[in-house]
């Protein structure tokens, strides 16, 4: 049976958490996101008649009149914590459940305290509106089955075989929601977004935007997943923070290391950086001053070399984003810095790239320079063109091995050695 129920009606059912369920893992961050979503939903319900906010899908297995929660446990417990705070006398079957594991106890206690703090400055009227929303605004799709194997089949199709939304798709939905009062702008944004290859957008965030964001702060990066999307949620349009006012005045001039305003600016930002990345690669490939760099980039193809190659494109993109020029000396310095990592290490993996980008691991690299942080903090572009990049074997690397030809090419590029008859 499939039905759409208000959250109030759902919580009043004879719900139970079976023993096979995992502990309650939601943290204050998850609770904060839930409260902010509810806050926006309440505001929308005032603007739009009969507005409903669907929190998600819940899968239940009915057994002897009890509804065991197969999927949706984390959200239901979180909503119960919120519901109980808003009306301390509220009672339902699930509230009688005792949690024996320490992880659940810890997170339940922490989130209960968080809810109390969150509402402490909201006022009674807002608390009443939130309480009313449980019956009139918030709802869920509830799927109830009477065979346990059917419940797990549904759970499996929801969480395994079903394709999870990519983080950039979640960001698309988030920013479109911020544009809900601008229907034509929303339509234009969707049209432009759908015209771009999904793979290109995914790679833009995975390989360039998110790493540069982290490396510029001297923080090692990680995979760009749904857990990381807060980085690109931007600043609320109606924010009165000083930094928000500054960001609004800066638009539409984007910076890789600075936040944007939520809504339409997100789509403009994605389009801008897809074009900027393309411009950087075209310049490297077509500018006669970068002929040697382009030749080197096209001479090798291995996983380790491609890591160093992508590191260079990230550095070049970060530089061009900041200074909007293709200074020959600056680009050669950035290229030499990135490719010396390939020379330094016999086995190059992404973990080494991560450390190198933030200036870590002093004893293994010829150059220990946090280049992205330097670019981010530089006042003029000559601070980059004047960087002292060592094109020299680091201590303990007497032999370069199979990367000797690359090392020789870098020596020539930097005027340390003349090209031989073969151009090397």
Buried b (16+ CB within 10 A) or exposed e, 262-299: bbbbbbbbbbebbebbeebeebbeeeeebebbbebbee
pLDDT at 403: 86
> Kindly report the CA angle at 354 between 352 and 355, in degrees rounded to 5?
65
| Average pLDDT for 258-270 | 93
Peptide bond between residue 306 and the one before it cis (omega within 30 degrees of 0): no
pLDDT at 149: 60
Write out the H or E segment, with its range, that includes residue 168.
Answer: helix 167-178
Dihedral sign for Cα atoms in the order 149, 150, 155, 160: positive
Give the residue with greater pLDDT, 71 vs 331.
331
Dihedral sign for Cα atoms in the order 303, 366, 321, 166: positive
Among the listed residues 128, 158, 124, the one whose alpha carbon sits nearest the alpha carbon of residue 141: 158
pLDDT digits (tens, 9 = 90+) for 211-261: 999 999 999 999 998 888 889 999 988 888 999 999 888 888 899 999 999
388, pLDDT greater than 70: yes
pLDDT at 158: 55
Read off φ and ψ for residue 302, nearest 5 degrees: -150, 160
CA distance linking residue 265 with residue 273, whole number of Å: 12
DSSP calls for 210-231: HHHHHHTTT-------GGGGGG
Give the residue with greater pLDDT, 309 vs 99.
309
424, pLDDT greater than 60: no
Q: How would you classify residue 252: left for phi > 0, otherwise alpha for psi between -120 and 50, otherwise beta?
A: alpha
DSSP calls for 72-133: -HHHHHHHHHHHHHH-TT---GGGGPPP-SHHHHHHHHHHHHHHHHHHTTT-HHHHHHHHHH
pLDDT digits (tens, 9 = 90+) for 177-220: 888 788 888 888 888 888 888 889 999 999 999 999 999 999 99
100, pLDDT greater than 50: yes
pLDDT at 218: 95
Confidence label for 155 from pLDDT (cuts 50, 70 and 90): low
Confidence label for 332 from pLDDT (cuts 50, 70 and 90): very high
Least confident range of 166-170, 300-304, 313-317, 398-402: 398-402
Read off φ and ψ for residue 251, nearest 5 degrees: -65, 140
Beta strand 66-71 pairing with 138-145: unpaired
396, pLDDT greater than 60: no
| Average pLDDT for 400-408 | 82
| Average pLDDT for 126-138 | 93
Counting Cα atoms < 13 Å in the Cβ hemisphere of 227 gives: 5
pLDDT at 156: 53
**CB distance 6 to 135 below 8 Å:** yes
3-state DSSP assignment of residue 22: coil
Counting Cα atoms < 13 Å in the Cβ hemisphere of 332 gives: 22
288, pLDDT greater than 50: yes
**Neighbour tally for 20: CB within 10 Å:** 9
Confidence label for 148 from pLDDT (cuts 50, 70 and 90): low
419, pLDDT greater than 70: no
Among the listed residues 314, 313, 288, 310, the one whose alpha carbon sits nearest the alpha carbon of residue 301: 310
Confidence label for 421 from pLDDT (cuts 50, 70 and 90): very low
Across the beta sheet with 138-145, the strand order is: 2-6, 138-145, 53-63, 66-71, 15-16
Mean pLDDT across the chain, nearest whole number? 87
pTM of whole model > 0.85?
no
**CB distance 34 to 106 below 8 Å:** no
pLDDT at 162: 42
pLDDT at 398: 47
Among the listed residues 325, 328, 321, the one whose alpha carbon sits nearest the alpha carbon of residue 293: 328
């Amino acid at each position: 049976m499939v039905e759409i129920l208000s959250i109030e009606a759902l919580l009043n059912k004879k719900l139970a958490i079976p023993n096979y369920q995992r502990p309650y893992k939601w943290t204050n961050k998850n609770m904060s996101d839930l409260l902010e979503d509810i806050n926006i939903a309440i505001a929308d319900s005032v603007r739009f008649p009969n507005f409903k906010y669907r929190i998600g899908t819940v899968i239940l297995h009915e057994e002897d009149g009890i509804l065991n929660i197969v999927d949706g446990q984390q959200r239901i417990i979180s909503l119960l914590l919120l519901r109980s705070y808003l009306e301390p006398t509220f009672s339902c079957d699930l509230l009688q459940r005792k949690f024996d594991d320490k992880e659940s106890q810890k997170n339940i206690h922490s989130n209960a305290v968080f809810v109390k703090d969150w509402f402490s400055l909201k006022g009674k009227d807002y608390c009443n509106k939130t309480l009313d929303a449980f019956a009139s605004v918030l709802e869920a799709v509830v799927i109830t089955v009477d065979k346990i194997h059917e419940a797990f089949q549904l759970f499996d199709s929801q969480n395994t075989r079903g394709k999870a939304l990519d983080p950039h798709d979640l960001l698309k939905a988030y920013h479109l929601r911020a544009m809900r009062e601008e229907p034509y702008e929303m339509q234009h944004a969707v049209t432009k977004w759908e015209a771009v290859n999904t793979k290109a957008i995914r790679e833009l965030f995975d390989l360039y935007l998110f790493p540069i964001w982290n490396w510029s702060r001297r923080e090692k990066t990680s995979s760009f997943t749904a857990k990381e999307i807060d980085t690109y949620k931007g600043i609320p349009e109606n924010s009165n923070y000083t930094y928000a006012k500054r960001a609004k005045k800066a638009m539409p001039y984007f910076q890789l290391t600075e936040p944007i305003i939520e809504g339409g600016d997100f789509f403009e930002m994605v389009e801008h950086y897809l074009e900027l990345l393309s411009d950087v690669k075209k310049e490297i490939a077509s500018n006669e001053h970068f002929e040697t760099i382009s030749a080197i980039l096209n001479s090798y193809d291995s996983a380790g070399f491609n890591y160093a190659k992508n590191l260079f494109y990230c550095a070049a993109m970060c530089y061009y984003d900041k200074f909007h020029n293709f200074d020959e000396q600056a680009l050669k310095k950035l290229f030499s810095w990135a490719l010396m990592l390939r020379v330094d290490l016999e086995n190059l993996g992404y973990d080494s790239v991560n450390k190198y980008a933030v200036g870590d691991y002093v004893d293994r690299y010829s150059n220990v320079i946090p280049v992205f942080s330097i670019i981010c903090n530089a006042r003029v572009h000559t601070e980059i063109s004047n960087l002292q990049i060592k094109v020299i074997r680091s201590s303990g690397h007497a032999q370069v091995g199979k990367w000797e030809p690359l090392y020789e090419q870098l020596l020539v590029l930097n005027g340390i050695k003349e090209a031989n008859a073969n151009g090397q």
